[in-house]
Structure 1
Amino acid sequence: MSGITAYGAYIPRTRLLKSAIADANDWFDASLRGLAKGERSVCNWDEDTITMAVEAGQDCLSALDQRSVSSLYLASTTLPFLDRQNSVVVSQALNLGDHLRTMDVAASQRAATSALITMLESGRAKGNSLLLASEHRRSKCGSRAEMLWGDGAAAVAVGDDDVIAEYLGSETYVTDFVDHYRGEDSTIDYEWEERWIRDEGYMKSVPLAVSRLLEKTGVKASEIAHFVLASDQARTPAAVAKKIGIAAEAIADNHIGEVGVAGVAQPVLMLTDVLEKAKAGDLILLTGFGQGTDAVLLRATDAIAGRRPKTGFSGALARRREDKNYNRFLSFNNLVDRDVGKRGELDKQSYLAAMYRRKDLLTGFIGGKCRECGTIQIPKEKYCVNPECGALDSQDDHPMSAVKGRVMTWTADRLTFDWNPPAYFGLVEFEGGGRLMMDFTEVEADAIDAGVEVSVHFRIRQFDNQRGFRKYFWKATPAQQ
């Protein structure tokens, strides 16, 4: 039996109030007031598609043995690199080894569901395949998209053992229906008229693919317990469900008023929400819309209740910080040209050879554990730091990304350039051993002090705008946040 074996989710902690967007823009477009209820998820300045994918992957792997993962697919239309395999960066940050098959899947809003179908139907090596869907879309100021979209990521694992949602079948209908597009020289989508997208797109494409699937599997529409249709059109999922014959109570929530629609990641993010709620025997219909429709039918197994991730969708949704600063949102998304000052203009050239030599530390956050005395240190070096040992070449790899730490010293610096000043940094001591000077991220005023527990997260360290590169490293975040 093949199907989904684990899942995980990540939603950025910051939630921008939509009323703040309307306050700044309704002088130009009064209709924005009608969309101003609730909030949307917003990436911090040092988050992007890759960092969110790592977070979702870690959550999924909290319920799965990472040694069982044999392939990784990363689906997104907002990948940071056009010619560098983004999925490799994610796989190394997750410490999944170098025998992994990796692939980036892009160019359509149904990239994630198409990748999922491929994983479910293709012959796989022993173990699990990991699908990560992540999206960080930019939109024009004061646009409908700015009000309705959000940032987020989700993960599902596919395998043959310990299945929590059995795969029953899939169907795909393809057509070059252009509801929106983004050309090679643009960073913002161009969208067509909303009613036309609903009537000619959703209302025709989705029922066609679903009817084919239901006929093939012998399942009645009335038997569907959970119907996933990602859309930023609030009323469209109900209209589509009614046309197909699916009960209204089966429609999965898009959470437009709490998170917003996260593009390619949205169907998988909604699926993780459904998997948390599903009971054994429930039929789950997952759809992906974009140049046609993917439809996937799953059935929850008896194992579903015992395979929940550490955070999951509900935990990610609950972990929030309200924000009313619209200008900060514009700055973080590079929608305004800010004066960064002389310190911000320093050349940040990326030394690729040095980065490659230290990739275990920089990407995997690997420390060392001495075979002679058991001392743990980070970074891993040739000599043991224990003054009573000092052994040469005695250290084995010791992953540190899941290890908690505590703040030993800290500084809030307003002279050092930071996209969200002040710049917080200091010394972190890890449980079991190891100390490292680190940057802190997403720190609230008066929320950091010596002794505060921290966890580490894969984030953007610097932007090398001159050469179009971004550097990643791990940063510490106060745990109580």
Structure 2
Amino acid sequence: MIGITAYGGYVPRLRLSRSAAAQANAWYAPQFANRKGTRAMANWDEDAITMAVAAARDCLGPSEDRGHVRGVLLASNTLPFAERLNSAVVAGALTLDDDVDAADTGGSQRAALGALTQAVARASAGGGDTLVLAADARKTRAGSQQELEYGDGAAAVLVGREEVVAQFLGAGTLSVDFVDHFRGAHEEIDYAWEERWVRDEGISKLVPLAVRAALEQAKVPAAEVDHFIFPSTFAKMDAQIAKSCGIRAEALADAMLDKVGDTGVAHALLMLAAVLERAAPGQVIVVAQFGSGAQALVFRATERIRSFKPQRGVSEWVARGVEEKNYTKFLSFKGQLALERGMRGEQDKKTALSTAWRHRTALLGLVAGRCEVTGSVHFPPSRLSYDQGKPLQDTQKPYKLADRPAKILSWSAEYLSYHPAPPHHYGQIDFEGGGRILMDFTDLDVGEVDSGTPMEMVFRVKDVDERRGYTRYFWKATPVRPSATH
């Protein structure tokens, strides 16, 4: 049996209030004044890579057992690097084996579904488990409809042969150059075509062809579909597609547009991960997405669906959101508002690539060294164990810290130096079992932390060398919060 063996998602904690954004632009775009709900908003230190890592961790669980992952496919239209293997950065953060087969894919809103079919093909050919990731953090023009409709997020599914939670049954693909929107190679913002044309001549005619082809290959009647996933910001577009294909109206999956928004390439997989959380054994799931044609896949949930749970799951990520009403913060985090940084923010941030390579395991994977003689944990790891009075050489073994419980030893929150989201929170973090690191904190409110506060690790942007266009990544600490769904 081939299919999805694990799944997960990620939605940033911050949620931009649509009404706050609309009010800020009411002088220019009064037509949006009554917009309600929120859209997911990436923090300043989040991008497609960091969100993909978060979704992958939600899917894979603790880092000690990931040797079975033999491939990583990262789908996105907003990858930070045009020429640097973004999926290799993700693989390093996940501490996957160096011989894992990693590839980036994009160019269409349905790139994630295309990657999913590639993963199925790899599994069919005996290529082992493949991790399919999708993430997007799109930029929009201020005062635009897209600014209110879009959202940032990521999703992950693992495809393989063992312990399948959703069996792959069939797929349908239509690849045509129907242009609903486009973005040139040197542009940051999409150009969209007329809505009615896209809806009537594009989506309503092309998507049903892919859905019917997938159902035919799966040998499943449309009336037996239990969950139909089709992300679209066009009102009732999913219902129209379902009706034209003979799928019951009650099968429509929640697109989460009111709280999250449309996360682009990631949205079909994000909805799929949400559906899998509540799917029952035997239920049929159809997931489709439009873009340069259309693509649809059919799955059937197995008995295994009852026992597998992601670390948090989409429902938990959605529930933990915090409303953000500062519209200028949103613009600043998106790099669309240049704020005064002061002289302390002027330093050059050139990265020594040779040093980054030599310490890649420690920097990307947060891997320390544990002395086999004394048991002491050292970060960064080195050939020398520097316990007082006990200098030892070559006694350290790799010791992963990213998933270990941790607490704040000491901390500071200061406004003196430049920081994209002041005050700058940082401090000494002690890890259970050994290890201490001076780290930045993220995703927290003023007054939320103190000495002894439990913290967990998240993979984030450390800083950006704007002169050369290089993004540097490292781990940060964030407060451990109780489940928002209980």
Q: Structure 1 length normalisation: TM-score?
A: 0.98
Is the counterpart of residue 19 in structure 1 residue 19 in structure 2?
Answer: yes
1:151–1:469: structure 2 CA closer, same or farther, 3 Å change rule? same
Cα gap change, 1:84 to 1:118, in 2 (>3 Å): same
**Displacement after TM superposition at 1:162 (Å):** 0.5
In 1: Cα distance, 2:420 partner to 2:412 partner: 16
| Separation in 2, partners of 1:217, 1:183 | 37
Q: Which moved more, 1:229-238 or 1:88-97?
A: 229-238
The worse-fitting range, judged by mean Cα deviation, of 253-262 and 367-376 is: 367-376
Offset of residue 126 of structure 1: 5.4
Q: Is the 8 A contact 1:369 1:377 kept in 2?
A: yes
What amino acid maps onto 1:459 in structure 2?
Answer: R
- Tell me the residue number matched to 1:243: 244
CA deviation after TM superposition for structure 1 residue 127, in Å: 3.3
- Which runs of 5 or more residues in structure 1 are unaligned? none
Q: Which amino acid aligns with 1:443?
A: L
Runs of 4+ displaced beyond 3 Å: 122-127
CA distance in 2, matches of 1:42, 1:215: 39
TM alignment of 1:260-339, pairs within 5 A? 260-339=261-340
Which letter maps to 2:143?
A: G
Structure 2 residue 39 is the aligned partner of structure 1 residue 40 = yes
- Contact 2:154 2:266 (8 Å CA) reproduced: yes
Partner of 2:233 in structure 1?
232
By how many angstroms is 1:328 displaced?
Answer: 0.2
Q: CA deviation at 1:63?
A: 8.0
For 1:86, the equivalent position in structure 2 comes to 86
Moved more, 238-247 or 388-397: 388-397
Cα shift at 1:244: 1.1
Whether the aligned pair in 2 keeps the contact of 1:133 and 1:155 (CA below 8 Å) is yes
* CA deviations over 1:103-155 (Å, ceiling 9, x no partner): 00111101000110111123444531100100000000011111111000000
Supply the AA of the counterpart residue of 1:52: M
**Matched residue, 1:69:** 69
CA 1:345–1:206 in 2, change beyond 3 Å: closer, same or farther? Answer: same
Between 87-96 and 436-445, the greater mean CA deviation after superposition: 436-445
Counterpart for residue 479 of structure 1: 480
**Partner SS, residue 33 of structure 2:** helix
Q: 1:428 Cα deviation (Å)?
A: 0.8
1:341-383 deviations in Å (ceiling 9; x for gaps): 2111211111111111111111110001111122222221222
Which sits farther off after the overlay, 194-203 or 117-126? 117-126
Query: In 2, distance between residues paired with 1:158 and 1:106?
Result: 19
Amino acid corresponding to residue 49 of structure 2 in structure 1: I
SS in 2 for 1:417: coil
Partner of 1:193: 194
SS at match of 1:210: helix
Q: Matched residue of 2:338: which SS?
A: coil
Taking the TM superposition and a 5 Å limit, the aligned residue runs for 1:130-149 are 130-149=131-150
Q: How much does 1:277 deviate? A: 1.1
Instruction: Return the offset for 1:294.
Output: 0.8
- Counterpart CA distance in 1 for 2:116 and 2:476 is 31
Other structure's SS at 1:255 match: coil
How many residue pairs are counted as aligned between the two chains? 480
Determine the C-alpha separation between the residues in 1 that align with 2:388 and 2:201: 72
Deviation string, structure 1 residues 392-446 (Cα, Å, up to 9, x no partner): 1100001111112111111112111110111111111110111111111122111
Distance of 1:200 and 1:344 partners within structure 2: 50
Task: Provide the residue aligned with 2:59 in structure 1.
Answer: 60
Give distance in 2, aligned partners of 1:258 and 1:207: 27
Report the Cα distance in structure 2 between the residues aligned to 1:217 and 1:184, rounded to whole angstroms: 37
Between 374-383 and 167-176, report the one with greater CA deviation: 374-383
Partner of 1:461: 462
Distance 1:135 1:332 in 2: 15
Q: Give the counterpart letter for 2:364 in structure 1.
A: T
2:339 aligned counterpart, secondary structure = coil
**Which position in structure 2 is the counterpart of 1:30?**
30
Q: CA RMSD in A?
A: 1.3
Q: Is the 8 A contact 2:172 2:212 kept in 1?
A: no
CA contact (8 A) 1:372 1:389 kept: no
Q: Deviations over 1:154-185 (max 9, x none)?
A: 00000011101001111101110000000012
TM-score (norm 2): 0.97
Question: Residue 120 and residue 126 in structure 1: after superposition, are their counterparts in 2 closer, same or farther (change >3 A)?
Answer: closer
2:366 and 2:143 map into 1 onto residues whose CA distance is 40
How far, CA to CA, are the matches of 1:131 and 1:438 in structure 2? 30
Preserved CA contact (<8 Å) 1:63 1:309: no
